[in-house]
Amino acid sequence: MPARARPPTAIVTLPSGQKYEGEVERVDDFFVALRTRDGGRRAFAITDGVTVEVKDPLVAHRELLPTYADAEIHDITAYLVTMK
């Protein structure tokens, strides 16, 4: 069984310079929610002065998927079906 990919992490820096780091639970244009190392949860509004740096180990794969044509996805799926 393949190893599971590590979830994306993020560093949130507040205007005061205080930083929070943790696993990303949710991120959009307005909010970011993190699970910190101690198991706590923190949510931040992304406003002026708040910076969010997301580190996603699968970003290259996510960016590549939309570049495939339907025929290529069909071929890949057909190939995977033959593997047992």
* pLDDT tens per residue across span 46-79: 999 999 999 998 889 889 989 999 999 999 999 9
pLDDT tens column, 8-55 = 999 999 999 999 999 999 999 999 999 999 999 999 999 999 999 999
CA 63, 66, 68, 73 torsion-angle sign: positive
Q: Number of helices (H) and strands (E) in the chain: give both, helices first.
A: 2, 5
Task: Classify domain 9-82 at the CATH topology level.
Answer: SH3 type barrels. (2.30.30)
C-alpha–C-alpha distance, residues 80 and 37, integer Å: 38
Tell if the pTM clears 0.85, that is, is over it.
Answer: no
User: 50 and 15 in contact (C-beta within 8 Å)?
Assistant: yes
What are the residue ranges spanned by the domains of the chain? 9-82
